[in-house]
A and B are shown apart, each in its own frame.
Chain A
């Protein structure tokens, strides 16, 4: 069974640009969460989607947004990129009904802003 797929794996953008990252969850998983990982701040929750609805949002500026499609695939968008947005962005999916099994993470998209 395929895991969580994130594309692209690596991305280099210029300050001020915008970027869209994609996440395909495990088949059958309807919950998708996004996290930002940086050396200084560690893993920080961005948002969570379930059945195309945002259920939780972390403490990030409005430049960070996301959405989920009817096939559970999710995208996150960062507009007006800043140098501090350089990070590993991780997506995780889970089965709503089996919460105890936790989340399955993708390998991440490493974004570098120059």
Chain B
């Protein structure tokens, strides 16, 4: 089956950029997502990228997709304390069916 891997923790200084990485095994996914989960809350869709794109920028967020290496990353510029959360990489197919999630990366911000 498909496997999606992320590192468990990332600590960055407030104001710096955060880069959260994700690797996957199945390259047939059409959509690649980044979700954010704050404590006690559900998942919030941050951004997504189609598999035929290499990059997508949305305000402070930049998503990079390297299909050859099966690597997806999320860069958060000017990281703020409100960015503290767990970030999930997820892959979806061409139909509205199940999404495969990574294990999540807990981002902590230090002053």
Q: Report how far A108 CA is from B44 CA in the complex, Å.
A: 12
B59 is an interface residue with CB less than 8 A from chain A: no
Query: Which residues 15-61 of A sit at the B interface, judged by CB distance below 8 A?
Result: 31, 33, 35, 42-43, 45, 48, 50, 55-56, 58
Query: Mostly helix, strand, loop or mixed at chain A's interface?
Result: strand
**Which of B44, B90, B94, B98 sits near A99, CB closer than 8 Å?**
B94
Chain A residues, Cβ within 8 Å of B9: none
A102 is an interface residue with CB less than 8 A from chain B: yes
A66 is an interface residue with CB less than 8 A from chain B: no
A94 is an interface residue with CB less than 8 A from chain B: yes
Mask, B11-53, CB within 8 Å of A = 1, is 0000000000000000000110101000011111100101000
Across the interface, do B41 and A107 meet the contact criterion of CB distance under 8 Å? yes
The stretch of B62-70, B71-79, B99-107 in contact with A is B99-107
Q: Report how far A100 CA is from B96 CA in the complex, Å.
A: 9
Contact A108/B42 with A100-B48, A101-B48 known, Cβ cut-off 8 Å: yes
With both chains docked as a complex, state the minimum distance between the C-beta of A58 and any C-beta of chain B, in angstroms: 7
Chain B residues, Cβ within 8 Å of A45: 98-100
Across the interface, do B45 and A104 meet the contact criterion of CB distance under 8 Å? yes
Chain B residues, Cβ within 8 Å of A103: 45, 99
Total interface residues on A, CB under 8 Å, equals 27
With both chains docked as a complex, state the minimum distance between the C-beta of B33 and any C-beta of chain A, in angstroms: 5
B88 is an interface residue with CB less than 8 A from chain A: yes
- The listed residue with most A CB atoms (<10 A of its CB), out of B45, B95, B96, is B96
Mask, A1-14, CB within 8 Å of B = 1, is 00010100000000
Contact A33/B42 with A42-B104, A102-B48 known, Cβ cut-off 8 Å: no
Chain B residues, Cβ within 8 Å of A102: 31, 33, 45, 48, 90, 92, 99
> Which B residues contact A (CB, under 8 angstroms)?
30-31, 33, 35, 40-45, 48, 50, 88, 90, 92, 94-104
Which 6 A/B pairs are nearest by Cβ-Cβ distance? A105-B42, A45-B98, A43-B101, A105-B43, A107-B42, A102-B45
